[in-house]
Structure 1
Amino acid sequence: MHETVVCVVGNVATAPVYRELAAGPSLRFRLAATARYWDREKSAWTDGHTNFFTVWANRQLAVNAMASVEVGQPLVVQGRLKVRTDGREGQQQWASADIDATAIGHDLSRGTAAFRRAGKPEPPAGAARPEPDWATPVPPDTGEDTPVQQVSEPATVT
């Protein structure tokens, strides 16, 4: 309910790692976002501090990102920010900033991209179900003037 949603522009820093899990596909990679500012003394753009984020994508976003994202590409990532701190005995404490991505796209201010819609997955071959028989049965000819109403049992689908 009270989540921190962020939009980060940066470059892919590590090769995406794709895994098929019980809950569905999952993908992670590191994103480097470097602040740039105009240095008046040098009259030039200067790089500031670089922040690194671990980006997590799930389900269809993971599948599409795996087919689209490579190291060095400029991306725009939107998602929920999660900052964790941890430390082990005798070691320095560290922090990790993760983004649970809801959208990932290429930064078109720095290049072009060609969008291809992902195809819908086809159902497994063994899962084909027969069509039910929806035809209305024709009453038999009884030779009388009054119509005979025939009740048929519904078709069963297996």
Structure 2
Amino acid sequence: MSESITVVGNITAPELKVTADGVEILNFRIASTERRYDKAEETWMDGVTSWYSVSAFRRLADHGHRSFRKGDRVMVSGRLRMRSWETPTKKGVTAEIDADMLGHDLLWGTTTFHRDGGPSRPASESEPTDSPWAVPGAESGPVVDEWETTGPGGDEAAAVADEEAQPRVLVAAAAPF
């Protein structure tokens, strides 16, 4: 059985492995500790800590490995699987998450995002590669700045005569989402 889950917690050291087929796999564990406020003591108390084993694949694995460090506070969203295990001396159940999404928890710090163009999306000549505002996959041309040159009622001659009196409006055309 597989269910969707989102967990926030601190991670152990992320470890990147590459299969014989070249598939990247990132593995780490995440500790999520319940916090509650004790009114009698007027302090925050730690509750139960739940541990999850996390696996991410391909580009998500590569990005996670380059972004995360041991102890980082992160968010993980993915499919939950409970796996039973047994050794000669004990048995138990492990909670495993196949990650669909990984990210830092910005409540505890900041991060800088760098878009990865990746091999599946080469930059075209008309698309600036250094633009922080580029929309991935959008058919886009350059952003156009035009000054409105018509006066009230669309009369261009009146607009020229009243150029000083008319406020100018900047109109920007952007790519559709």
Q: What pairs with 1:43-54 in structure 2 (closer than 5 Å)?
A: 43-54=42-53
Superposed displacement of residue 6, structure 1: 0.3
| Structure with more contact order per residue of length (Cα contacts < 8 Å, sep ≥ 6) | 1
Report the Cα distance in structure 2 between the residues aligned to 1:56 and 1:31, rounded to whole angstroms: 11
Report the Cα distance in structure 2 between the residues aligned to 1:113 and 1:29, rounded to whole angstroms: 20
Report the Cα distance in structure 1 between the residues aligned to 2:111 and 2:85, rounded to whole angstroms: 39
Report the Cα distance in structure 1 between the residues aligned to 2:22 and 2:96, rounded to whole angstroms: 19
Match of 1:102 in 2: 100
TM-score under structure 1 length normalisation: 0.71
C-alpha RMSD over aligned residues:
1.5
Report the Cα distance in structure 1 between the residues aligned to 2:98 and 2:118, rounded to whole angstroms: 24
Report the Cα distance in structure 1 between the residues aligned to 2:33 and 2:5, rounded to whole angstroms: 15
* 1:55 matched to 2:54: yes
Q: Flag the structure with larger Rg.
A: 1
Contact 2:13 / 2:71 at 8 angstroms: preserved in 1? no
* Structure 2 runs not aligned, ≥5 long: 121-177
Match of 2:109 in 1: 111
Superposed displacement of residue 92, structure 1: 1.4
* 1:74 matched to 2:68: no
Matched residue of 2:50: which SS?
strand
Runs of 4+ in structure 1 over 3 Å off: none
* Structure 1 runs not aligned, ≥5 long: 123-158
Paired residues, what number? 119
